[in-house]
Chains A and B, each alone.
Chain A
């Protein structure tokens, strides 16, 4: 059974700092990995999708990497801003019988202080 862990559960940084959020998964045979942002009480906004054959994806100040062999992904946020404050969730899709569902971590709650 796939399990996804995100550490730390919460992170507070000053504005302008570069930061890394971590995601680990137990079954390395994944189909893809997706990073999401969630504002309080809101839905999920897709940030980046990495297919199993890819090593990284970039969008603006965000860069996500994937290392399947070690079961890890990182989300790098450059020059953080107060507007980046939110909960960041990673989710993996695993091939086979469960290919149609995402398994989520519990998220990292990020606070960027002005």
Chain B
């Protein structure tokens, strides 16, 4: 049973560029959440997708946007990259009807120069 998979694992961008990160949820899961983790900090909630709609959003600017596809996979897009966007971006999936336990992927390490 494949767990949560994310791509790419590492990427380097320059300020002002745009980036797209991808996530496939654990088999049987219908809900995808995205988190940003700065070095030495706990993850911060960006937003959550269910039934192809954004259900909730954390304190992140509109430069951060996302999408969920009919197969439950998801993308995170960040526009006009800033140096402060450098972080590990984590995708988590869960089954809305179950225990609420979240399962995380290995993350995408974004470096903005």
| CB of B109, distance to nearest CB on chain A (Å) | 7
Docked CA distance A97–B90 (Å): 22
- Residues of A46-79 at the interface with B, using a CB-CB cut-off of 8 Å, are 46, 49, 51
Known A32-B100, A100-B55, A101-B33: A42·B106 in contact at CB below 8 Å: yes
Chain B contacts for A103, CB-based, 8 A: 45
Chain A contacts for B40, CB-based, 8 A: 106
Docked CA distance A106–B1 (Å): 30
Per-residue contact bits, chain B 78-113, to A (CB 8 Å; 1 contact, 0 not): 000000000010101000000111111111010000
Known A49-B101, A98-B56, A100-B33: A44·B109 in contact at CB below 8 Å: no
Contact indicator A46/B104 (Cβ below 8 Å): yes
Contact indicator A31/B48 (Cβ below 8 Å): no
| CB of B37, distance to nearest CB on chain A (Å) | 8
Contact indicator B42/A4 (Cβ below 8 Å): yes
Docked CA distance A82–B107 (Å): 24
| CB of B106, distance to nearest CB on chain A (Å) | 4
Contact indicator B106/A100 (Cβ below 8 Å): no
Chain B contacts for A46, CB-based, 8 A: 101-104
The interface on chain A, measured as residues whose beta carbon lies within 8 A of the other chain's beta carbons, has a size of 26
- Residues of A5-41 at the interface with B, using a CB-CB cut-off of 8 Å, are 31-32, 34, 36, 41
Chain B contacts for A49, CB-based, 8 A: 99-101
Contact indicator B33/A44 (Cβ below 8 Å): no
| CB of B85, distance to nearest CB on chain A (Å) | 18
Question: CB-nearest residue of chain A relative to B101?
Answer: A49
